[in-house]
Amino acid sequence: MNSAPALIEDIRLLEEKLKTAKIPDDLHQKTNAMVERLVKFASSQGYSQEYDQVARYLDWIVSLPWEKRSEDILSLDHAKKILDVNHYGLNNIKERILEYISVANLKRNKQDPNSYFPKAPALLLVGLVGTGKTTMSFSIAQALGRQLGRIPMGGMGEALQLRGRSRAYPDAEPGQIMKVLRRVGYKNPVILLDEIDRVTDAAKSDIMGVMVELLDPEQNSKFLDHFIDYPFDLSEVLFIATANNTAGIATAVLDRLELIEMPSYTDEQKTIIGKKYLLPRAITASGLSNGDLVFEEDVWSAIVRPLGFDAGMRTLDRTINGICHKVAKSKVEGNFNKLVLSKDNLKQYLPSW
């Protein structure tokens, strides 16, 4: 059990954090009163459950980025380079991100750059498994120079997981939104709401209600987490939601999202992506050198669909990685200096399904 002097020292350190933290003035007054309560707890009865709850709450308050922003990279050339390096095609979504950067540039130039913070759009990427929805979200964050936080929505069973639980309950904790903001350390990240069509049926209406508040530009500037119990401005967060289809998404949520369809890939597109993106990445990840493995042109038709039609890229990615792993093993065993993969030796290196 902590002694009173040790608790007083902990309180002093927390008080110092509160003095330097940039938090709203009225919240500052509230936290100062709570610090006084902590001192009384520590002086009279030492450590208690109530002391722990108050200290934990104050720790959350000083750790949230109430005013801390990352600086956006508002360069069209930088964004084009990042998006093109990471993704083949998908011109519609690339164009939308470039439009957002352009508008932000023009507005910032007309106002004080230090006081202008643009409201971010809310996007919904819809497509079959493996079509690049999640990886595109990472690329958008990289293109803008923002941190990215992911919230897995698949299987989410209650709205409190997003909004947090009131401190009146002993197991209270903040929701996923606040946890992401604390983790990334900025109030303007990209937040990925992954698989919003796969929340549980029992909690769907409640979760969709919270999502309306998250995504509505008229409401999300004062988002209320039950644990934090003070409005937080989410208007600068760029929300990207993903879904396999829109059937499980409430109409009110769809109305607040800009829907962008992620297309299925043709065999020709898969071949290009395999050559330019997947194979070089797999070679590097396997510890091979560029000259260790060469694919003959006619093997691509045999590996783009080893299991039949697949709308996305995951099977092809696994196949290429599996080939590279087998080649890496052969190289370590000293069986070759360079492998040219052809239809004659393809079966030897294809992964077993």
- pLDDT tens figures, 212-222: 999 998 889 99
Strand partners, 295: 341
What's the rounded Cα separation, in Å, for the pair 109 and 104? 9
Instruction: State yes or no: pLDDT of 353 exceeds 70.
Output: no
What's the rounded Cα separation, in Å, for the pair 279 and 128? 22
Q: Which residues neighbour 62 within 8 Å (Cβ) at sequence distance 6 or greater? A: 14, 17, 18, 21, 23
Tell me if 120 is assigned to some domain. Answer: yes
Q: What tokens does 34 get? A: 């709570």
Last residue of a domain, one of 243, 261, 279: 261
Q: Supply the CATH number for residue 216's domain.
A: 3.40.50.300
DSSP 8-state code for residue 168? T
Q: Mean pLDDT over residues 177-193, rounded?
A: 96
Tell me if 70 is assigned to some domain. Answer: no
pLDDT confidence bin for 46, thresholds 50/70/90: low
Last residue of a domain, one of 200, 226, 261: 261
Q: Do 121 and 41 sit in the same domain of this protein?
A: no
Instruction: State yes or no: pLDDT of 196 exceeds 90.
Output: yes
| Residue 1: per-residue pLDDT | 46
**Rounded percentage of the chain residues whose pLDDT exceeds 70:** 91
| Residue 50: per-residue pLDDT | 73
Q: What tokens does 260 get? A: 């962008």
Residue labelled with tokens 């698989």: 195
Tell me if 68 is assigned to some domain. Answer: no
DSSP 8-state code for residue 277? I
Instruction: State yes or no: pLDDT of 194 exceeds 90.
Output: yes
Q: What tokens does 146 get? A: 């923002």
Q: Do 120 and 237 sit in the same domain of this protein?
A: yes
Q: Do 217 and 80 sit in the same domain of this protein?
A: yes
Q: How many domains does the chain have?
A: 3
Closest CA to 20 of 67, 75, 56: 67
What's the rounded Cα separation, in Å, for the pair 323 and 282? 9
What's the rounded Cα separation, in Å, for the pair 252 and 63? 33
Q: Do 110 and 182 sit in the same domain of this protein?
A: yes
Strand partners, 238: 190
| Residue 37: per-residue pLDDT | 76
Q: Mean pLDDT over residues 259-263, rounded?
A: 88
Q: Do 252 and 271 sit in the same domain of this protein?
A: no
Q: Supply the CATH number for residue 311's domain.
A: 1.10.8.60
Q: What is the mean pLDDT of the chain?
A: 86
Instruction: State yes or no: pLDDT of 197 exceeds 90.
Output: yes
Q: Do 189 and 300 sit in the same domain of this protein?
A: no
User: 211 near 252, Cβ under 8 Å?
Assistant: no
* Structural domain span for residue 276: 267-349
Q: Do 80 and 123 sit in the same domain of this protein?
A: yes
pLDDT confidence bin for 209, thresholds 50/70/90: very high
Q: Do 171 and 81 sit in the same domain of this protein?
A: yes
Residue 238, classed as helix, strand or coil, is strand
Tell me if 300 is assigned to some domain. Answer: yes
Tell me if 306 is assigned to some domain. Answer: yes
| Residue 47: per-residue pLDDT | 54
**Of 33-47, 74-88, 146-160, 322-336, the least confident:** 33-47
User: 144 near 238, Cβ under 8 Å?
Assistant: yes
DSSP per residue, 114-145: TT--PPPPEEEEE--TTSSHHHHHHHHHHHHT
Q: Do 108 and 256 sit in the same domain of this protein?
A: yes
Q: Mean pLDDT over residues 102-115, rounded?
A: 71
Q: Do 183 and 324 sit in the same domain of this protein?
A: no
Residue labelled with tokens 């059990």: 1
Tell me if 124 is assigned to some domain. Answer: yes
pLDDT confidence bin for 307, thresholds 50/70/90: low
Q: Do 36 and 140 sit in the same domain of this protein?
A: no
User: 7 near 42, Cβ under 8 Å?
Assistant: yes
pLDDT tens for 331-351 read: 898 877 788 999 889 888 888
What's the rounded Cα separation, in Å, for the pair 130 and 273? 13
| Residue 88: per-residue pLDDT | 84
Q: Mean pLDDT over residues 235-246, rounded?
A: 93
Q: Do 109 and 194 sit in the same domain of this protein?
A: yes
Last residue of a domain, one of 242, 261, 280: 261
